[in-house]
């Protein structure tokens, strides 16, 4: 019933462009994460003693997390698809680098531009102490040579999805994080995910414009490789000139209200939040009916991580053919391993995995719940639910074609009791990470995947009574593509600064 429509003449530009700062080109000939994709996705390593982070290794991490892998030509111009998926292909997430001195790069605060594959220096000096203080004194930031900061440019996604796009800040960050964790695992770099930080302090460090862009998460990389800084520079206010995203922006107050009430106001509050998050114990969800233990892969496929990331897309047509129970088991096992996050215990999770099996060899059609503790699938409803799986995903036929449709759910009220308002961010972010892992796991097995939003209450109702206390967070369909997709490429430095400034590409 909404009167909202897509104003294509006012569509936000795809890249953040600084107009008065110099860019530092990143190396074009970058290393490739060549360990087995599934083991990297499942964080089953490390594979070596850890490589030193230099400018080439940093370029590798940035590219395989958020670099350009495909170029699509349309009469209206060229469109650039990236290493991780994004809702609506709008890519609202920006990456920043807070670095010590590393080979090839001086200490500073930088913005990563995927369009020209370059870094823009925002501040000179080692700001790791300040960033650590903002994160409640996190030692991982102090001993990591590099921390990558995720932000969201709200209008780039709310142009299409309005206030609901606040969820997408964390979904779209999550799928990038899944790539980044797998890449650093392949290279043996110890990485952490931090959601406990003083919001305004990090926004101020990056020079973000208030009520247009905000920080989502921090990721120190190579923890333990660097000496803590001896001092920290003063943090003056910076207001770098940036090209407007479009001719006009519509502000959705709900976005900034929920971001404000879920913010942390001080370093002490950030530390207290992390401490309380670490003590969270999820309530055991009651069991269902018949049980099918998941199978383990005797030999994971030889797909290298970099090949899977470059090949990955979003499937637009499934073949309605069955996948094997072994493949389904592998996808679930590797995708649901807990990320190394400050808000999760080891092997803990805020997310419960439900799914509709439409076509799986060795598994009856029906609705299922994944019991993480027992590594088993519990039958909730037996029957043919292809029509239902499509209906729940906004009536999209694509999700009736899929062999399996996952619904990542959470008992939000219980989470909020322990985590406060910021628990909403944690739930959405972890679901986004799992969705990213579902993509990578499926593609490593020669399958396809696609994400979707959904009818919220209808999903809960369908999986009830088992899921009656749950909300759905994100949906992902998996199956065999009905076409052969054109593979992506390692595409670095595709656009010149003149093209970015004029938006002519």
The domain segmentation of the chain, as residue ranges, is 8-235+247-272, 291-479
Q: For residue range 200-229, what is the model confidence (pLDDT) as tens digits?
A: 999 999 999 999 999 999 999 999 999 999
Cis peptide bond prior to 465, omega within 30° of 0: yes
Q: Do 366 and 356 contact (CB within 8 A), yes or no?
A: yes
What is the enclosing helix (H) or strand (E) of 31? Answer: none
Structure tokens at 203: 């926004």
pLDDT for the residue numbered 78: 80
Cα angle 319, 325, 329; round to 5: 110
Handedness of CA 383, 323, 474, 74 (dihedral sign): negative
pLDDT band at 405 (very low <50, low <70, confident <90, very high): very high
Q: Do 368 and 433 contact (CB within 8 A), yes or no?
A: no
Q: Evaluate if residue 476 carries a pLDDT over 70.
A: yes
CATH of 291-479, picked from 3.40.109.10, 1.10.3720.10, 3.30.530.20, 1.20.1050.10, is 3.40.109.10
C-alpha to C-alpha distances, 220 to 98, 267, 331, 377, nearest whole angstrom: 9, 17, 27, 35
Q: For tokens 């999820």, what's the residue?
A: 282
Looking at residues 325-334, what average pLDDT do you find? 96
Q: Do 162 and 87 contact (CB within 8 A), yes or no?
A: no
Give, to the nearest 10 degrees, the angle between helix 154-161 and helix 253-261: 130
User: Do 8-235+247-272 and 291-479 fold alike per CATH?
Assistant: yes
Q: For residue range 451-469, what is the model confidence (pLDDT) as tens digits?
A: 999 999 999 999 999 999 9
Q: What's the burial of 325, exposed, middle or buried (CB within 10 Å: 0-12/13-18/19+)? A: middle
Q: Evaluate if residue 505 carries a pLDDT over 60.
A: no
Q: Do 377 and 291 contact (CB within 8 A), yes or no?
A: yes
Q: Among 293, 287, 402, which residue's Cα sits nearest to residue 356?
A: 402
Q: For residue range 114-160, what is the model confidence (pLDDT) as tens digits?
A: 999 999 999 999 999 999 999 999 999 999 999 999 999 999 999 99
What's the mean pLDDT when you consider all of the chain? 93
Q: How far is CA 381 from the centre of its chain?
A: 31
Which residues, 6 or more positions from 271, have their beta carbon under 8 angstroms from its beta carbon? 136, 137, 196
Cα angle 461, 463, 464; round to 5: 65
pLDDT band at 289 (very low <50, low <70, confident <90, very high): confident
Better-predicted residue by pLDDT, 80 or 264: 264
pLDDT band at 287 (very low <50, low <70, confident <90, very high): low
pLDDT for the residue numbered 301: 85
Residues 407-433 as b or e (16 or more Cβ within 10 Å = b): bbbbbbebbeebbbebbbbbbbbbbbb
C-alpha to C-alpha distances, 71 to 67, 108, 310, 347, nearest whole angstrom: 12, 31, 12, 38
Better-predicted residue by pLDDT, 44 or 386: 386
CATH superfamily of 8-235+247-272: NADH Oxidase (3.40.109.10)
Structure tokens at 54: 């230099």
Q: Evaluate if residue 503 carries a pLDDT over 70.
A: no
Looking at residues 414-432, what average pLDDT do you find? 96
pLDDT for the residue numbered 427: 97
> In the chain, what's the furthest Cα-to-Cα distance?
64
Euclidean distance between the first and final Cα of the chain, in Å?
36
Q: Evaluate if residue 286 carries a pLDDT over 70.
A: no
Q: How many CB atoms lie within 10 A of CB 121?
A: 17
Q: What's the burial of 6, exposed, middle or buried (CB within 10 Å: 0-12/13-18/19+)? A: exposed
Q: Evaluate if residue 2 carries a pLDDT over 90.
A: no
């Amino acid at each position: 019933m909404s009167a909202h429509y897509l104003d294509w003449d006012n569509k936000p530009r795809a890249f953040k462009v600084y107009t008065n700062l110099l860019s530092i080109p990143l190396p074009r000939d970058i290393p490739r994460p060549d360990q087995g994709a599934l083991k990297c996705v499942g964080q089953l390593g490390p594979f070596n003693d850890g490589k030193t982070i230099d400018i080439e290794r940093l370029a590798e991490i940035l590219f395989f997390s958020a670099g350009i892998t495909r170029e699509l030509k349309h009469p209206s111009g060229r469109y650039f698809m990236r290493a991780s998926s994004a809702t609506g292909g709008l890519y609202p997430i920006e990456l920043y680098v807070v670095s010590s001195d590393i080979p090839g790069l001086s200490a500073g605060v930088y913005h990563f531009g995927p369009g020209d594959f370059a870094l823009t220096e925002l501040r000179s000096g080692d700001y790791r102490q300040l960033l650590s203080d903002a994160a409640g004194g996190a030692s991982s930031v102090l001993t990591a040579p590099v921390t990558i900061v995720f932000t969201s440019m709200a209008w780039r996604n709310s142009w299409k999805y309005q206030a609901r796009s606040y969820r997408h800040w964390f979904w779209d960050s999550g799928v990038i994080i899944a790539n980044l964790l797998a890449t650093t695992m392949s290279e043996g770099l110890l990485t952490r995910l931090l959601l406990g930080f003083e919001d305004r302090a990090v926004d101020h460090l990056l020079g973000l414009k208030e009520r247009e862009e905000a920080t989502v998460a921090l990721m120190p990389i190579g923890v333990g490789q660097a000496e803590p800084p001896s001092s920290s520079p003063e943090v003056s206010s910076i207001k770098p000139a940036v090209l407007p995203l479009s001719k006009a922006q519509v502000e959705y107050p709900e976005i900034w209200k929920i971001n404000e009430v879920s913010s942390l106001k001080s370093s002490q509050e950030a530390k207290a939040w992390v401490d309380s998050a670490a003590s969270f114990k999820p309530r055991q969800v009651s069991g269902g009916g018949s049980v099918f233990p998941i199978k383990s892969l005797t030999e994971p496929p030889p797909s290298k991580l970099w090949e899977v990331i470059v090949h990955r897309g979003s499937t637009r047509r499934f073949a309605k053919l069955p996948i094997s129970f072994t493949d389904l088991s592998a996808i679930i096992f590797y995708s649901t391993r807990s990320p190394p996050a400050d808000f999760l215990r080891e092997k803990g999770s805020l997310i419960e995995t439900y799914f509709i099996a439409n076509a799986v060899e060795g598994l009856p059609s029906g609705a299922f719940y994944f019991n993480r503790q027992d590594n088993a699938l519990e039958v909730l409803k037996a029957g043919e639910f292809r029509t239902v799986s499509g209906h729940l995903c906004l009536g999209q036929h694509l999700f009736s074609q899929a062999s399996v449709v996952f619904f990542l759910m959470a008992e939000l009220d219980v989470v909020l009791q322990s985590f406060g308002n910021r628990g909403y961010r944690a739930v959405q972010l972890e679901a986004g990470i799992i969705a990213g892992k579902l993509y990578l796991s499926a593609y490593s097995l020669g399958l396809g995947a696609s994400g979707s939003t959904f009818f919220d209450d209808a999903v809960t109702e369908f999986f009830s009574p088992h899921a009656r206390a749950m909300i759905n967070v994100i949906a992902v369909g998996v199956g065999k593509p009905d076409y052969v997709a054109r593979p992506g490429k390692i595409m670095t430095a595709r656009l010149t600064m003149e093209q970015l400034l004029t938006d002519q590409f």
